Structures are given as C-alpha cells and as structure tokens.
Amino acid sequence: MSTIIYIPNDSAAISIGADQVAALVAQEAVKRSLDVTIVRNGTRGALWLETLVEVVTPQGRIAYGPVQPEDVSSLFDADFLHGGAHPLALGVTDQIAWFAGQDRVTYKRVGLIDPLSLKEYESHGGLVGLRKAITQSGSDIVAEVTASGLRGRGGAGFPAGIKWKTVLDAQADQKYVCCNADEGDSGTFADRILIEADPFTLIEGMAIAAVAVGATQGFVYLRSEYPTAIRRLRDAIAIAEGAGVLGTSVLGSKHAFNLEVRVGAGSYVCGEETAMLESLEGKRGVIRSKPPLPAIAGLFGKPTIINNVLTLASVPAVIADGAAAYAARGTGRSLGTQVFQLAGNIARGGIIETAFGVTLETLVNTFGGGTLSGKPLRAIQIGGPLGAYFNSSQLGVSMDYESLAAAGGMLGHGGVVLFDDSVDLAQQAKFAMEFCALESCGKCTPCRLGSTRGAETIEKIISGVDVPANKLLLLDLCEVMTDGSLCAMGGLTPLPVKSAMNNFPEDFTGGAKK
Amino acid sequence: MSFPSWSIEEATRVLSPLKNVQGPVLIALQAVQERFGYVHEDAVGLIAETFNVSRADVHGVLTYYHDLRTAPAPARCIQICVAEACQAVGSRELVAAVEKKLGKKIDETHADVEIKAAYCFGNCALSPAAMVDGELVGRATVEKVTA
Ligand SMILES: Cc1cc2nc3c(=O)[nH]c(=O)nc-3n(C[C@H](O)[C@H](O)[C@H](O)COP(=O)(O)O)c2cc1C
Ligand code: SF4
Ligand code: FES
C-alpha cells in the first residue's frame, strides 16, 4: 500500500524550500523502491515548522519539521514512513501544543487537504453550507449570518448580516458580491493562506452570499503580490464551474453565480472598499465619498456586498453548523473566532485561530514563543500599518474589537507584529507617515500633505531639532489628519504615530537612539 | 526575465480578447505589461481607441498604480519587502547590503537589475521577504536574493 506524504505547496513554504523537499522525497522513494504518494497540501499555518512534512500512519498524521532539503535522506534512514524517531519528529500533528490550543473554524480544512481537490473538500465538510443555503430563502440566510454575530474581518468590523440585509432589500436588475482580497496590511497573510490552502471555502462563502441577496456575478480583487494565490483561485474557480458549483445553476438550483478574479496593481489604498470598486471598474483607485453605500450603489452603480476573504470564508461554517455554534465562541460583541497572524520578530510565527478574547500575552508567548532573535520583546504592532504600537507592559489586553479599541488600538485584519529591543519607535512612526504619503489617493489635503509634513517633523525630532515644539506640531498634524481625512488611510495613520509617542516616549526625546 | 520588444500589432492581439470586459482600462494596461514587461507610450492611444475611452483616462490609470511601469523591464528584478514585519527582522539592513553589493539604489530604473521596495508579500512569519523575478524568497539574505 502506498504511504501518503503531505508536503505543502503554500508560497511561504515554497519560499524556504518546500518544492526542493518534495522533489527530494520523490527521488529518494524511487531510489529506495518505496511506494509513496506525495500530496501537496496547503500549509497548516505553522510557518515556523515549514517545511512541515506529514506522513499518514495508523496513529494519524505524524509530523516532521522544519525539514530542510538536506534532511530528506536521513528521514528515510529513520523510517519516517512508519513514524520513525528522528530529531525533527514532532509526533501526531494534531497533538502538537501549538495546534491543539487552537479552535479552527474558518480554517477548519486549511492544510489538511489538497487545495484543488473538490472531492477532499466535500469529504471534509465542504459544500454543506451551500447545499443548505439553496433550500433557504434569502432572508433566512441573512438572518442566520446576522445571528452568528459575524463581523467584517477586513478591519472595520461591521456586522456582515446588516450589510447583506441592505443588499438583499435593494431593488436592482443586477447585484454583485465582491471579495476584498487586497490584504495590504503588513504582518497579515491569512487571506493568502486561505486562498492557497482551501480556495473552495471562499468560493462557497461567496456563492452563499450571492444566493442570499440574489447576486449573479462575483469578483475577487486579489493583490498582484500574491501570484500563487491568483493562480490557485483561478484553477479552483474553473474546477467549481466544471462541477456545477458555479455557473448558470448553482448545485442544480435556480441560482446563477459566476466568479472572476481581478488582480490589483500595487496600491495599498485600493484595499479600502470604495477605492477597490474604482479599481475593479478599471479606474484610478481613488476613494469615493459615502453615501451612497456600496450596498446600495456599489460596483458599476449596483448593490454590492463587499467583504473580506475571512468574513466570506467563515460563512460556510456559520450556515452549516448554525449561528448558535459560531456565536457560542468569543466575548461581548466580538463573537466567533479570529484568525490571528503572528509575524515579524517571532520565534513561532504563523496562523492562530482562536475565539476572541485570548490575551495578547497568550498569542505572543504561549503560541509565539517570544522573539526570534531571543532579545527582549519591546513593541507589538497590532492591526497592520494603521494599527497601534503596544509596549511589553500591555500584554494583558484581551484580543477583541472592543478591548483593543479601549486600549487605544484596533484589531484590523488580525496581524500581530513583534519587535525586539533594537526597534526605534520614532523610526517606526516616521515610516507610518511616509507610507501614508506614498499610498494616499490624494483626495484630501491632510492625508496627502500632512503625512509628508509629519514624516519631516519626526525626522526633526529624531535629529534633536526643537524637540518639544516639533512634538506639539506633530500632535497637531495628527489631529488634523484624524479630523480632516475622508477615509481611514489619513484618518488612522495617527494611530501608530501617537501610540508610539505615548507608549515609547523615551524614543521621542531627540538624539538618535543607541 | 526577457520580453519581446514593443509592437503595435502584438499589442492589438493582446487586447482583442478583452473587448467585452466591463471596466477594461486597468486590465488592458496589465495585459500589455505582462506581454512586454512595461507599458510603451503608444499603448495609451491604442487602449483609448480600442475601448473608446479618453487618453487622459488611460494615462491617469497608468500613472496611478505602483505596479505599472513605463520603462522597459530590467533583466532582473529584486523586490524587497520594506514593511513593518520585515523591518522587525532587518529589512532595512538587507536593503542597504543589497544596494552596496549591486552598486545600485533602491527604486532606480536600470536595464540589468533593479532593486525595488515592496510592501508585504504575505510572508511575514518568514521575514525578511523578497521576490526575485517573481519567485518568493523567505528568510531573505543578501546571498539568497543576489544569487
Ligand atoms: C486604507 C485602507 C485599506 C484597506 N485594506 C483592506 C484590505 O486589504 N482588505 C480588506 O478586506 N479590507 C481592507 N480595508 C477595509 C475595507 O474598506 C472594508 O471595510 C472591508 O473590505 C469590508 O469587508 P468586511 O466587512 O468583511 O471587513 C481597508 C480600509 C482602508 C481605509
Ligand atoms: S484620507 Fe487619504 S487615502 Fe483616504 S480619501 Fe483622503 S487622501 Fe484619499
Ligand atoms: S511585511 Fe514583509 S512580507 Fe509581510
């Protein structure tokens, strides 16, 4: 009998050698006349263990990692095909504490299957939600999503059900479902991994949204920095069309739904939903003023659902298992699970999906193992380039929308980036302003010009020029940007800047650090 | 990476399957760039004509997006992520070292090799990240990206 070996085809795993490992495993097996079947699964999210090689045994999937190309022949020598002992042996994958401590809902299948096997997708619970949805009325589906408490995972945290209801109630000859897969936030990669590892979940979630509100066309706006995800999603869409999951009759129902991937062109601000619509329409990605809401007049002026990848990918589980099961997780108004991403200077980086309300401490230390460098942790940026910098005395904060806001930050897309004590927060604040200047769509002056002024002012503080006066000027600039910006690009850039000043005042005293 | 030199006939062929696309301008520019490695100035008029939009509109889109380039693509392109998670593990130092080794500054235009700043490849747990001629590199080092 052929032994099944899983070796990820995730782009991050490939970036550190997964393809070489797979090729060498195949070669060695031939050389040793061993009967193996290599399945290229998605990553299981433990990027610190990549390349994670798993062997299917009677005890379950046994993990070895991180495997370097040069380890392959010794794995065979150790009889890893039967779970043999080896310095890289990690035991049964599901029992590794890092995985066992998680609660995977949205990421239920991620890393378990061949991403493009619709058969495996179904045998792991796929399409249950969509099959149910096509028997339900639009308002029943929307009510279920509303009851689950699911909120937008792209950053703003708006309740998904309420948005869907607006689109459902809008009268129009054409409606759209658009998935925001721009994932511009640094320190985040959960959209990418989901698309690469389990693309049918996103397709299913979008199809459920379409069935619910009566949309017949969908678009996924996927950033150009993710070539592997683009290819994989396009392949998955073709397979889903061939199998009748997409097309003129979704799973044999009266609903039609077609899906197209459109690729971004390297603009961060195009992740903002109205700029994304402009870009999808082929124009400059400039922010639109609201109202009208995209739910009323969105893509090509038609009612449009816009949701993040993780929001849409959570929907199949919500419909399949019911709103109550989803809402039983989490805390306060932050219900369900969040797919956190541990990044930067971190020993055990990757995907942690858990119920809202886990502490930052648990994420950073229990899961993350502290810094990669082994030096003291000094700063944590949560929520991407527009998110706040916390210091190491703030690890007690509960990771949910409300608690983070109360602590002066925001959850954003769930990215958690660690910095050790070599970080200079004045430099980080300056970068936040420079990034805003680079990415501003140009519509409002405070964002366009204030950010450039802001970066210059921080540079003066760093060089020790008129420090007290320049700090006041910087705070003024921040206030003008917060109050005078049309969107969160200019409006939230002051968050990393001011949090850096508040939580690390010692870095803003003039005179370069060290 | 090598691309064919600009030809209006070839560009016309590249654009013809896009005739029925809704909102075609960005997709058309991307298709031209994918074929030729950059957007030749004559492509602006061609796209305007093909899709019945103004040249100013096409030009506006062309200049808005960081990905789109009007100079021929370099033989080799090293994109280095300079965003926060990569900064946390030394991307600033990596950029400086690559600049020094190649004797070129980041974000300059060159025919042989360009170093370009990028803002996140979604490889932030294996930072620093880079992309060399379209191949993602994790735990990037000067050796890896200039190999
Ligand atoms: C500057 C800026 C960038 C954004 N980038 C993204 C992004 O990359 N992905 C995303 O899903 N949402 C992004 N958003 C949030 C979107 O505007 C919008 O709230 C979201 O796509 C709605 O989907 P959700 O409700 O499912 O989160 C961004 C917002 C701003 C202001
Ligand atoms: S805040 Fe900045 S990005 Fe947002 S609309 Fe204004 S200028 Fe554009
Ligand atoms: S911040 Fe560099 S890859 Fe994400």
| Measured distance CA(B132)–CA(B147) in Å, rounded | 10
Rounded Cα distance, A40 and A34, in Å? 18
In a domain, B70, yes or no: no
Residue A106: CB within 6 Å of ligand 2? Answer: no
A424 phi/psi in degrees, rounded to 5? -115, 110
Cα A33 to ligand 3 centre (Å): 41
The secondary structure of residue B48, as a DSSP letter, is H
Mean pLDDT of chain B: 97
Nearest to B41 by CA among B65, B3, B69, B13: B69
Task: Examine the pLDDT at B137 and tell me if it is beyond 90.
Answer: yes
- Write the burial class of residue B4 (CB in 10 Å: 0-12 exposed, 13-18 middle, 19+ buried): exposed
A298 in ligand 1 pocket by Cβ < 6 Å? Answer: no
**Which among A445, A482, A489 is the best mutation to test ligand 2's pocket, defined by most ligand atoms within 8 Å of the CB?**
A489
Half-sphere exposure of B57 (CA within 13 A, CB side): 18
Q: Give the CATH number, domain containing residue B125.
A: 3.40.30.10
Q: What are phi and psi of A191, to 5 degrees?
A: -65, -45
Q: Does B66 touch chain A (CB under 8 A)?
A: yes
Longest dimension (CA), chain B: 48
- The CA distance from A489 to the nearest CA of chain B, in Å, is 15
Asked whether the beta carbons of A327 and A335 are under 8 A apart, the reply is: yes
As its CATH architecture, domain A118-327 has 3-Layer(aba) Sandwich (3.40)
| CATH value of A425-508 in 3.20.20.70, 2.60.40.2380, 3.40.640.10, 1.20.1440.230 | 1.20.1440.230
Between the two ends of chain A, the Cα-to-Cα distance in Å is: 62
Strand pairing class (B76-81; B113-118)? parallel
B99 lies in which domain range? 76-146
With 0.80 as the threshold, say if the pTM is over it.
Answer: yes
Q: Are residues B88 and B52 in the same domain?
A: no
Show residues of chain B in contact with A187, CB under 8 Å. 83-85, 120, 124
In tens digits, what is the pLDDT along chain A, a chain of 514 residues?
Answer: 899 999 999 999 999 999 999 999 999 999 999 999 999 999 999 999 999 999 999 999 999 999 999 999 999 999 999 999 999 999 999 999 999 999 999 999 999 999 999 999 999 999 999 999 999 999 999 999 999 999 999 999 999 999 999 999 999 999 999 999 999 999 999 999 999 999 999 999 999 999 999 999 999 999 999 999 999 999 999 999 999 999 999 999 999 999 999 999 999 999 999 999 999 999 999 999 989 999 999 999 999 999 999 999 999 999 999 999 999 999 999 999 999 999 999 999 999 999 999 999 999 999 999 999 999 999 999 999 999 999 999 999 999 999 999 999 999 999 999 999 999 999 999 999 999 999 999 999 999 999 999 999 999 999 999 999 999 999 999 999 999 999 999 999 999 999 999 999 999 998 754 4
Contact A51, A18 (CB under 8 A): yes
CB contact, 8 Å: A50 with chain B? yes
Tell me which chain A residues have a C-beta less than 8 angstroms from the C-beta of B85: 186-187, 343-344, 415, 417
At residue A1, the pLDDT reads: 80
Which residue, among B20, B26, B33, B58, would best test binding to A if mutated, counting the most A CBs under 10 Å from its CB? Answer: B26
By the CB < 8 Å criterion, does A186 face chain B? yes
Q: Which residue of B has its CA nearest to A16?
A: B138
Interface of A with B in 243-282 (CB under 8 A): 262-268, 279-282
Question: Hey, what are A14's tokens?
Answer: 């490939």
Does residue B2 form part of some domain? no
Q: List pLDDT tens digits, range A423-451.
A: 999 999 999 999 999 999 999 999 999 99
- Asked whether residue B90 carries a pLDDT value surpassing 80, the answer given is yes
Give the burial string for B89-115 (b: 16+ CB within 10 Å, else e): bbbeebbebbbeebebebeeeeeebbb
Q: In CATH, what class is A330-420?
A: alpha beta
Q: What are the boundaries of each domain within chain A?
A: 3-95, 118-327, 330-420, 425-508
Q: Nearest CA to CA, how far is A103 from chain B (Å)?
A: 20
Is the Cβ of B96 closer than 8 Å to some Cβ of chain A?
no
Q: Which residues pair with A181 in a beta bridge?
A: A222
- Looking at residue B1, its pLDDT comes to 72
| ipTM of the complex, rounded to two decimals | 0.97
Answer CATH for A3-95 from 3.40.710.10, 3.40.30.10, 3.50.50.60, 3.40.640.10:
3.40.30.10
Of B26, B85, B89, the CB nearest to A265: B26
How far, CA to CA in Å, does A247 sit from each of A125, A217, A255, A259, A408? 22, 10, 9, 8, 46
In a domain, B23, yes or no: yes
Residues B137 and B84 in one domain: yes
Measure A431 CA to nearest chain B CA, in Å. Answer: 9
Q: What is the pLDDT of residue B61?
A: 98
